[in-house]
Amino acid sequence: MEGIGVFDSGVGGLTVLKALRKALPGEFFYYLGDTARVPYGTKSGETVVKYAMQNAKFLVSVGIKYLVVACNTASSYALDVLRKELSIPVIGVIRPGAEEAVPVTRGKIGVIGTRSTILSGSYLREIKKIRPDVEVFQKATPLFVPLAEEGMFYHPITLSVAEMYLAEMRDRKVDTLILGCTHYPLLKKAISEVMGSDVRLVDSAESIARHIKEYLKITNNLSNSSGGVKYFVTDSPESFKRVGEMFMGEEIEDIELIDIR
C-alpha cells in the first residue's frame, strides 16, 4: 500500500503527523523517528543532509507517494537535495509555516524555535521572500522542548517559562506567532495565554496538509482506505512509545526498530 512518509529526528514530528491524519483520514502513514541520532540541530549541515537522505530512502523503499520532512533542521539543509534525488514530491516545515503566517498578519510576525533554527534565520528568509515589508521578531525558546517531553503542556512552570520568553514579543505587539519547532503545538494553550487571545498562533501542519491534498487530488492518488500509521525508530522503541503516546494522545502499537546505516 502506498502511503505518506513522514520523518523527524525524534518525536517532535508526531505533532505534524497528528494534524495530517486528521486532515487526511483515508491515508496510510509511515513515520520514521531517527531516535539514534537525535538531535539534528547540533550537527553540521553535511551530516544532516546525509541522515535525511538515508531516512528518505528508507521510507521510499517501504513505499510512499509523498514525503514530509517534519524536522526544522532537515528542512533547512536537505530539501533541495531530497527533491533532486527523489522522484516523489517532498515538503518541509519552513516554507509552509511562512505561508500560513503571511496572509493573516497585520504586519508583525514572531518566530520561536530551537536555538539552531533561530540562528539559521530560515523562517525569516521565507517570510521576507513572500512579503518583504513584514517585521519579523525571532526568539530561541529552548526550554519548550524538554517541557513538552515531560508532558507539562499546561503546567504553571510552563506558563512562567512562556512569560519569560514571550513577554518582549507581546509588548512589541506581534500579531502572528509561528511555532517554529514541531514540539511547540503541544504548548499552544500556555503560549496563547501569555501572548493573548488576539495573537494568531500558526504552525506548518495545516499548510502541509493542504499541499498534499491538492497534489493527491490532481494526480488522482487520494486514498479512501481506513487509514493508519506504521512507526519506525532507529533506537529505544520504549521511550519513543512513552513520549509518543503523550504526543499523539492515543496508543502507539506498531513500532519497528530499524538499522538505517
Residue 158 vs 176, nearer CB to a copy of itself? 158
Contact positions toward a copy of itself, by CB under 8 A? Answer: 35-36, 38, 42-44, 47, 115, 142-143, 145-147, 149-150, 156-157, 160-161, 164, 235-236, 239
Pick the closer one to a copy of itself by CB: 35 or 105. Answer: 35
Which of 115, 67, 71 shows the shortest CA–CA distance to 204?
Answer: 71
Q: What does the alpha-carbon distance between residue 30 and residue 232 come to, in Å, rounded to a whole number?
A: 8
Q: With respect to a copy of itself, which residue has the nearer C-beta, 104 or 164?
A: 164
Choice between 88 and 257, CB closer to a copy of itself: 257
List b or e across 195-210, with b for residues whose CB sees 16 or more CB atoms inside 10 angstroms.
beeebbbbbbbbbbbe
Of the pair 36, 246, the CB lying nearest a copy of itself is at 36
In the complex, least distance from residue 197 CB atom to a copy of itself, rounded to whole angstroms: 24
- Which residue among the candidates 38, 71, 147, 179 is catalytic per the annotation? 71
Task: Respond yes or no: is residue 98 known to be catalytic.
Answer: no
Of the residues 4, 102, 181, 243, only one is catalytic, namely 181
Smaller CB separation from a copy of itself, 116 or 204: 116
Give, in order, the Cα–Cα distances in Å from 204 to each of 91, 125, 160, 201.
Answer: 10, 16, 25, 11
Catalytic, 191? Answer: no
Positions annotated as catalytic residues are 71, 181
